[in-house]
Amino acid sequence: MDHKKRRNFSAEFKVKVVLEALKERSTIEELARKYELHPNQIGTWKKEFISKAANVFNHESDISKSQKDREELLEELYNQIGKQKVEIEWMKKKL
């Protein structure tokens, strides 16, 4: 059997297609023919683009705060693992 290889598209290409779709100078069908895509694919990319557009305006402080929270959680978990490892070693010696 002849299997088609799945095509991968760069983020830049997707943005280019979506921006053209948002301009509405051409129909989705025309864009699909132009870029050799299925119209549903353009619609999916367009929905994803619009739903994530608000993230562009997030403040870096919000992003850095969530990163800091993750780092604190990770440090806490590593400390807990270290304590458990010491306890396990101590118990092995006692047995």
Looking at the fold, whether 77 and 94 belong to one and the same domain comes out as: yes
The answer to whether residue 14 is domain-embedded is yes
- Give the predicted TM-score (pTM) of the model: 0.57
Q: Which pLDDT tens digit goes with each residue over 11-46? A: 999 999 999 999 999 999 999 999 999 999 999 999
pLDDT at 73 > cutoff 80: yes
Q: Which long-range contacts (CB under 8 A, 24 or more apart) does 80-89 make?
A: none
The answer to whether residue 94 is domain-embedded is yes
Looking at the fold, whether 82 and 50 belong to one and the same domain comes out as: no
Tell me, what's the pLDDT at 2?
67
Q: SS3 of 30, please?
A: helix
User: What residue numbers bound the domain in which 12 lies?
Assistant: 8-54
The answer to whether residue 84 is domain-embedded is yes
Looking at the fold, whether 19 and 48 belong to one and the same domain comes out as: yes
28 Cβ contact partners less than 8 Å away, ≥ 6 residues apart: 21, 39, 42, 43
29 Cβ contact partners less than 8 Å away, ≥ 6 residues apart: 39
Query: How many structural domains comprise the chain?
Result: 2
